Structure 1
Amino acid sequence: MRSKRDTVNELSEIDKELDNGLISETNILRRLELKSKLLNINDMESKDYIQKAKVTWAIEGNENSKFFHGIINKKRSQLAIRCIFVDGTWCTEPGCVYKVITKVLANRLREVISDLVSNTQSAFISRRQILAGPFILDELIQRCKRRKQQSMFFKVDFAKAYDSIRWDYLLDVLESFGFGQGDPLAPYLFILVMESLHLSIRRLVDSGLYNGILLPGSETISHLFYADDVMFIGVTVGGRMTRLKAWDNVIAKLRTLPSGVLKTMEAIRSRFFNGMGQEDFKITWIAWNKVLASKKRGGLGFSSFFALNRAILLKWVWRFISQDGSLWNRVIRALYGPNLDSHTTQFSSNWCAIVKELHLLKDKEVDFRSHCKKRVGNGTDTSFCFNDPWFCDLSGDDEFRVKELRYFIDDKYLPSHIEPTRWVKLVSIKANIFVWRARRDCLPTRTNLGYRGVDLASLKCPICLDFDEDINHILFRCDVAQNVLRRVCCWWNLVPQGWTSFLEWQSWFLSLRSTSRNKDLLEGMFYVAWWFIWRFRNLCVFEDRPPRRSTLFDDIVSYSFN
């Protein structure tokens, strides 16, 4: 048998010939033969090493010898994790490797954690809502008040959650690995430990030492877990309960915000948008509800707090319709029945307030339930009455989103402009908002200031001093504006049209034949030009020295490229 060295040398010579282009069938066949022989030699050497190692191990065993440390250290070196390949790069820092490993473990545990723990835990688990715990608690409190039922609600807050656990079996195993508060894996480890507490409480309930609140339909609520809080819920079992008068209502209620609160919040946003501080008083140039409207209805798309509050409340209606297996859903169905139309609105509870708001919105032509539908299909691949999925047709992909519902509510309550807002993403926000205000004649021109009773020495244009200053004059008819717009057209190889208003300019712009990308660039160029013309006008009004007209177009070009 040829030696390994001779085989490797001959194989190397053949590879050099192939690299130089000397390809022949003989060389290829010979190369395949040598590769096969080299594999056989390596295999035989490996078997020989294994056999020798077994003999040596049988003789020396695990003695403190050079052979033992060589075998053990080699194995440890092979199994050591020195770096991890993440997103195309190698991570070698111990802290980075630690974070990646814990994140992988957390992601794997996330997939099965919902099947391991009871439905009394609602935090850190996918498809469960952390607010379901306080929601259920509020409903139980209101039910006990209505029925004048003596009950006890005992709240326990675990400080620092995971770090507060003191079980030996968890401390000895996990803390030695460095898991602590804030670790990606910590919430799921905490949930598993809390499951032990859940089982202990269940044993107390089953033994009769502690009773939960019995709901219609044999549903019993004895305790709830959400985040690092535990709420024990029960009724008196003999003896006399100590009365605690100092308890405050610590449950954040999910109710409709009062109109006064909404107006105050909107006023704060409006003053900020108009550049006013707490003590400032300035002219409001446009109604705030027109600003809140969506862009397709002529606003800026801020959306109202009213729509946000109602959309978040209606999200609970969507959960009631589509998530009928959750603990929160079962509690609501046990208290009020399975049919949403039959739920009362007379009681003082979160759910009654939400149902009441649902009916009020329906009277305002915001019928949310009509947009919640079941996808039945052709009747073959889906079950007609049991497992058909719910979908919301307010979004394009049939997924429920608070954002889409906000816009739907705003479209019913907020006014609509005659034309949608034209927004160019290639230019700055301030330029877009300026043109939006200019199109609606909501800028402090001298004519507009005169309409609002501001005493001015003159209504003439501060640039040309020939005509009264209105928005069409300052941006289209003034000598400076005409010169700038003419040079913009020449820069783009377009024929100047001598526009006198936004309406004429828009008719011309829509008639252009070009790609959408080029039209966006051109429209953005006009936006920047108008913004600089208005800036030039302000310098003429408020500066002692008039600005230079010769550099105006150069500033526009420079800003456009930046």
Structure 2
Amino acid sequence: MYWVSWNQVLASHDKGGLDVGSLHAFNHGLLFKWIWRFVSQPNAIWVSVIQVLHGARAGIDLSPLQHKGVWFNIINTFCKAKDKGIIPNHILHFKVGDGRSIHFWLDNWRGVDALKNKYGRLFHLDTEANCLLADRCNDEGWKWSWNRDIRARNEALLNDLIGKLGNVVISHGTDSWHLCLDDDSDFTVSNTRAYIDDRLLPTTDVCTRWLKVLLRKINIFLWRLAMDRLPTRVNLARRGLEIEDTNCVSCNHNFESVQHVFFACSVASELWRRVRIWLDIHLPIFMDWSEVMPWFDSWQENEKTKQKVYVIFAALLWHVWRFRNSMIFPGEALKKSFLFDSICNFSFFMVFK
């Protein structure tokens, strides 16, 4: 029986997951790294071999390839990812040098898309559709060549184009391809994987709170608690299991739901009372985990103190769950009278280890 979907487990902490990351996105990142190597290492011997087989641009400009093989599959995966919106159109674009390798209309050199796709009417009015950037821009400004006079509607479109182009600087360097998700960072596999996962994996309303000082199993336990995905008797009965008695095993006074076990049960209530006295802070009476985190986030205290209190909360909830399990499963039973002392010792160990 599974309690959380696998895609939710893979999702990032910001999306309410465990930030495992998907192999699908990781594989895409590794494949795209070969394209990054192709454009960043133009003098490498293997790049020359690819260009001999597939042409100077080798399909990175999305032109069809004639020969199938490994490189064909890499480019095909890249094209499909762009078509499905998994990666942005501007991920692969030209960086302007002397403008002698960039087709003004056909190539993506403004970081968004090829200009012909947005300014199709102007593209069809140009006398030379395959013109280079150097043919249309020099030190004096823009040079245009139209097959007929530009009318009012197309003139407004031309003014919009010039405004979008901004100040293009033609230098003496060579044009080069650039592969990245944004202009502020270079391509990395980890960033690409995170970008793809962010678009494909589900999102929950609450972000995952992950505290490094806590054991991993406790962080995961709190994550499941926040989503009500713990195997309490009520949750097991909801999933179709035949449960003879759904009452709380700790107090036997109410249905064993997440809310009761961790907040309303006499065992939990007494531990919360003693924690309030120990911390000596105004702590409201919580009835659900969804009430704890809003109070915690709005609490006006420094981050170091808030982290220590969060550790104490986690220790309390973890010991309540362990005590509940010890009442059901065979093994060493936890003594109720020692629970608070164990919470204190556990909290000090987590904070000062």
Question: Would the aligned equivalents of 1:489 and 1:496 in 2 still touch at CA under 8 Å?
Answer: yes
Tell me how far 1:368 sits from its aligned partner. 5.0
Tell me how far 1:404 sits from its aligned partner. 1.0
Tell me how far 1:308 sits from its aligned partner. 1.2
Note closer, same or farther for the CA distance 1:289–1:345 as it changes in structure 2 (3 Å cut). farther
Which of 524, 544, 547 does residue 311 from structure 2 map onto?
A: 524
Q: Tell me, in whole angstroms, the C-alpha distance in 2 between the residues paired with 1:346 and 1:536.
A: 67
Q: Tell me, in whole angstroms, the C-alpha distance in 2 between the residues paired with 1:384 and 1:482.
A: 75
Note closer, same or farther for the CA distance 1:525–1:338 as it changes in structure 2 (3 Å cut). farther
Aligned residue for 2:36? 318
Q: Tell me, in whole angstroms, the C-alpha distance in 2 between the residues paired with 1:354 and 1:451.
A: 46
- In the TM superposition, 1:61-460 aligns within 5 A as 283-339=1-57, 340-344=60-64, 347-367=67-87, 370-372=90-92, 383=171, 386=174, 390=178, 392-393=180-181, 398-460=185-247
Q: Tell me, in whole angstroms, the C-alpha distance in 1 between the residues paired with 2:213 and 2:82.
A: 40
Query: CA RMSD, aligned part only?
Result: 2.5
Question: Would the aligned equivalents of 1:336 and 1:344 in 2 still touch at CA under 8 Å?
Answer: no
| Identity percentage of aligned residues | 35
Q: Which protein has greater RCO, CA pairs closer than 8 Å, 6+ apart? A: 2
Q: Tell me, in whole angstroms, the C-alpha distance in 2 between the residues paired with 1:470 and 1:513.
A: 31
Q: Tell me, in whole angstroms, the C-alpha distance in 1 between the residues paired with 2:93 and 2:274.
A: 56
Residue 327 of structure 2 aligns with an amino acid whose one-letter code is C
Note closer, same or farther for the CA distance 1:467–1:347 as it changes in structure 2 (3 Å cut). farther
Tell me how far 1:330 sits from its aligned partner. 2.1
Q: Tell me, in whole angstroms, the C-alpha distance in 1 between the residues paired with 2:256 and 2:25.
A: 39
SS in 1 for 2:243: coil
Q: Tell me, in whole angstroms, the C-alpha distance in 1 between the residues paired with 2:75 and 2:285.
A: 58
- In the TM superposition, 1:493-508 aligns within 5 A as 493-508=280-295
Q: Tell me, in whole angstroms, the C-alpha distance in 1 between the residues paired with 2:235 and 2:321.
A: 15
Tell me how far 1:385 sits from its aligned partner. 5.1
Tell me how far 1:546 sits from its aligned partner. 5.6
Question: Would the aligned equivalents of 2:251 and 2:266 in 1 still touch at CA under 8 Å?
Answer: yes
Q: Tell me, in whole angstroms, the C-alpha distance in 2 between the residues paired with 1:375 and 1:521.
A: 50
Aligned residue for 2:336? 549
Alignment: residue pair count: 278
| Larger Rg, first or second structure (1 or 2) | 1
Q: Please report the TM-score for the alignment, with normalisation by the length of structure 2.
A: 0.72
Question: Would the aligned equivalents of 2:218 and 2:314 in 1 still touch at CA under 8 Å?
Answer: yes
Question: Would the aligned equivalents of 2:7 and 2:201 in 1 still touch at CA under 8 Å?
Answer: yes
SS in 2 for 1:468: coil
Q: Tell me, in whole angstroms, the C-alpha distance in 2 between the residues paired with 1:389 and 1:351.
A: 17
In structure 2, the gaps of 5 or more residues are: 98-166
Which of 275, 286, 299 does residue 512 from structure 1 map onto?
A: 299
Which of 465, 481, 487 does residue 268 from structure 2 map onto?
A: 481
Question: Would the aligned equivalents of 2:91 and 2:180 in 1 still touch at CA under 8 Å?
Answer: yes
Q: Please report the TM-score for the alignment, with normalisation by the length of structure 1.
A: 0.46
Q: Tell me, in whole angstroms, the C-alpha distance in 2 between the residues paired with 1:460 and 1:333.
A: 71
Q: Tell me, in whole angstroms, the C-alpha distance in 1 between the residues paired with 2:256 and 2:309.
A: 26
In structure 1, the gaps of 5 or more residues are: 1-282
